[in-house]
Amino acid sequence: MIDTTLLAFAGVSLLLAVTPGPDMAVVTKNALAHGRRGVVLTTSGIALALAVWVTATAVGLSALLLASDQVLFILKIVGACYLAYLGVRTLLESRSRPADLLEGAPPAPPPRAAFRQGFLSAISNPKLGVFFVTFLPQFVLPGQAVLPRLLELGVLFAVIGWIWMNVYGLFVTRLRELITRPRVRQWMQRITGVVLLGFGARLALERA
């Protein structure tokens, strides 16, 4: 039987992965500086950081949910509101011309340090923790074992992000002008904003 909830999660995860952010800026800079090696090392560092975030979130949430049956419901309501907030904010940000994707990104390090830079870029972003705490519980179905489900969702999110970052990085030198074009990034933001807003509203209505 196809897990439609998992498919929906994968779709939203892919959409979030392709939206430009700090990690994408680091991958872009290292791809241009060191080519394929820089891409693989950087994305591997990012993937390790995501694994740390996912594991910490899953273990912490599962322990919290075992202590109270009401916590999952509350987290889902908060998460639905947070997703709607992200959608509105993304739509508002898409109205203005995006800044240069590489602006503010740390300088490209030597090839051997690209892994460390990718890891530090993702592990030092506290928004990832907030996002996982509010996003992952939305896809825990009634009766499911919480910890295995959260780990499954988190690993899927990390794998999707890793694959996209590698595909993006390996083609960035040829497609940089297209991918980093402000107009393209504006539309990516708008699509993401609409999906997040609609998804958050649907979740809120389901639990109203």
Residues 95-135 pLDDT 10s: 666 555 555 556 666 777 888 888 988 888 777 777 787 77
What are the Cα distances from residue 170, in Å, to 29, 128, 162, 166? 12, 25, 12, 6
Range of 202's domain?
A: 4-206
**Rounded distance, CA 16 to CA 10, Å?**
10
Residue in 182, 200, 154 with CA at minimum distance from that of residue 57: 154
| Confidence (pLDDT) at 163 | 92
Which of 26-40, 115-129, 157-171 is most confident? 157-171
- Tens of pLDDT, residue by residue over 174-205, are 666 555 566 666 666 666 666 666 666 665 56
Collect all residues with Cβ–Cβ distance below 8 Å to 198 and sequence separation of at least 6: 87
What are the Cα distances from residue 176, in Å, to 33, 37, 65, 142, 143? 13, 17, 44, 44, 46
Of all residues in the chain, the percent with pLDDT exceeding 90 is 3
65: pLDDT strictly greater than 70: no
| Confidence (pLDDT) at 98 | 55
| Confidence (pLDDT) at 201 | 66
What are the Cα distances from residue 208, in Å, to 73, 77, 86, 119? 11, 9, 20, 39
| Widest distance between CA atoms in the chain | 52
Residues 146-158 have a mean pLDDT of: 87
Q: Cβ(7)–Cβ(79) under 8 Å?
A: no
Collect all residues with Cβ–Cβ distance below 8 Å to 207 and sequence separation of at least 6: 73, 76, 77, 80
**Rounded distance, CA 124 to CA 137, Å?**
22
| Higher pLDDT among residues 10 and 18, named by residue | 10
In the chain, the DSSP E strands lie at none
**Rounded distance, CA 15 to CA 9, Å?**
10
Residue 147 CA from chain centroid, whole number:
20
Mean pLDDT taken over the chain: 75
| Confidence (pLDDT) at 206 | 54
Residues 149-155 have a mean pLDDT of: 88
If one counts the domains in the chain, the total is 1
Taking each helix axis as running N to C, give the angle between helix 146-179 and helix 22-67, from 0 to 180 degrees, rounded to the nearest 10: 170
208: pLDDT strictly greater than 50: no
Residues 5-32 have a mean pLDDT of: 79
How big is the CA angle at 185 (ends 7 and 139), to the nearest 5 degrees?
A: 20
